[in-house]
Amino acid sequence: MRTLPMGAITAGLVDLQPSPTSRLASVLNSAAPAAGLALGALGTGLLVQYAPAPTTLVFVMLIAVFLVLTAAVFLLPEPVTSRPGAWASLRPQLAVPSQVRRAFLATTPCLIATWAITGFYLSLGPSLAVGVLHIGSHLVGALALATFYSAGTVASLLGRNMPPQRVMAAGCVALAAGTALTLLALVGPSTPLFFLGTALAGVGWGSSLLGSVGSLAALAGPTERAKLFASVYVVSYLAFSLPAVVAGLAIPSLGLRVTTMWYGALVIVLALLAVAGAAVRRRAARPLAALASSEALATVGPSNPDAAKTARSQ
């Protein structure tokens, strides 16, 4: 199957879950990257601030870690039987199954907002700490990133047993509110409010990512997931990169503060669009659920009151 690597990895996590109804893959897909980013940001900030050769030591340590992990890959058990076509499988292939297209389109604003805010903090977070909040420590800039991703990790773990669509909608609300608080902190400026908004935005990021992946994973078949998640990551990484690049190009003419305001406003609008889309989908699903319940009651009939009572409760 020719898919983007991250799509294949996510599909593999879904396939290796303990049960079809498990949400372990969604939790790992959101919590593990967030935890890694939080630890990486904090560790890098400590090295840059206090260790020698700050522009070299970080990369040397990363190369060493990557070499160890590459060696560890060969020790992992292979869950499938190999077959010809390994090199051809590396060619990317994208697809959104027909039964997932409506949900995919409804989830797209959430995906864009989620990954655009990630690009916001990774590209502008340290610069905002120095240029707007007037904090000269590299460690404080790293703490902003660590706060964001730590909050995202906690939110992913706490929301793992909740319905995915509800988690996604609540996450988008928190994302919009956290981004608004962050922008308000930059007007002040207020460092405590900046970190509070960052933490709330991180909660929204983790919840939105968990809910969006979980809601889409439940709709695709086993042979469709890798291509679906490859499509998800194309949208996500475009949202991760392009707005940050545009913001970087706009800063020399608009300034850091004004560019940040426009960037944050875009994230808020997209997050609220995702919330509105989720509400419309829930409202549209209610008549269908009521119709299905009525049909079940008609099929059961009055001859079996216990079965009728069960159908009515559903």
Sign for the CA dihedral angle at 271, 152, 195, 61 comes to negative
Please choose, from the candidates 208, 143, 216, 211, the residue with its C-alpha nearest in 3D space to the C-alpha of residue 177. Answer: 208
| CA 179, chain centre distance (Å) | 15
Encoded tokens for 306: 């216990």
- Does residue 24 or residue 248 have the better pLDDT? 248
pLDDT for residue 180: 94
Using only C-alpha atoms, the chain has a radius of gyration, in whole angstroms, of: 22
Q: pLDDT-derived band of residue 278, with 50, 70 and 90 as boundaries?
A: confident
Local confidence band at 201 (pLDDT 50, 70, 90 cut-offs): very high
What tokens does 42 get?
A: 């904090």
Q: What is the pLDDT of residues 239-272, one digit of tens each?
A: 998 998 999 899 999 988 899 999 999 999 999 9
Q: Is the dihedral of CA 283, 285, 291, 296 positive or negative?
A: negative
Domains of the chain: 5-66+89-290 (1.20.1250.20)
**Amino acid letter, 198:** T
Count CA within 13 A, CB hemisphere, residue 264. 27
Q: Which residues contact 152 (CB under 8 A, 6 or more apart)?
A: 30, 31, 34, 38, 202, 203, 205, 206, 209
**246 vs 295: CA distance, rounded Å:** 53
User: What is the band of 296 on the pLDDT scale with cuts at 50, 70, 90?
Assistant: very low
Other C-beta atoms closer than 10 Å to the C-beta of 251 total 18
- CB neighbourhood size of 5 (10 A): 12
Cα dist from 117 to 17, 153, 227, 256, 259, whole Å: 29, 15, 25, 16, 14
- Residue 80 confidence (pLDDT): 63
Q: How confident is the model at residue 189 (pLDDT cuts 50, 70, 90)?
A: confident
pLDDT bucket at 200, cuts 50 / 70 / 90: very high
In the DSSP assignment, the letter for residue 188 is T
Nearest to 159 by CA among 203, 109, 195, 220: 203
pTM: 0.75
